[in-house]
Amino acid sequence: MERILFSPITKELFGYPPQTLEIPLTRLDTATAETFKQQCLDLVNKQAQVVGINLSTVDFMDSKGLGALVSCSKQIQALGGKTFLVAPQPQILVLLETVAIHRFIPIYTKREHFEQGQEPDTF
């Protein structure tokens, strides 16, 4: 299976005339969860993939964001793929450890470890 690093983005309008800019997602919450899930599904395109969800730019996550991670992971697993969380910022890692998400979605604290196919971190 192909190993893909998924970096979620948000689209913002700036300037005049308005231009759409794609910028890294910094919040995975009620406002961005549905867009995140759709981007994730578009990425795998109904094929089994090994997907690393890059959380390096996310500095805030709420329960809706956690639910989006779980939902995305379940859909990838239903296709026969695997999901990993990659490079979460320290405050996000604390949240992920607190809810024990690593029991269902393994975590790589370093991006290069995911890219090299090393074993995920243990907590």
Look-up of token digits 């026969």: 80
Residues recorded for the chain: 123
Residue 70 lies in a domain: yes
Domain carrying residue 63? 3-115
Residue 68 lies in a domain: yes
Task: Give the per-residue pLDDT at 12.
Answer: 79
CATH of the domain at 103: 3.30.750.24
Pairing of strands 19-24, 9-14: antiparallel
Task: Give the per-residue pLDDT at 17.
Answer: 82
48 contacts 1 by C-beta, under 8 angstroms: yes
The token pair at 89 is 């910022």
Query: Does pLDDT of 1 surpass 80?
Result: no
Give the chain's domain count: 1
83 contacts 120 by C-beta, under 8 angstroms: no
HEC per residue, 46-88: CCCCEEEEECCCCCEECHHHHHHHHHHHHHHHHCCCEEEEECC
53-89 pLDDT tens trace: 999 999 999 999 999 999 999 999 999 999 999 999 9
Residue 23 lies in a domain: yes
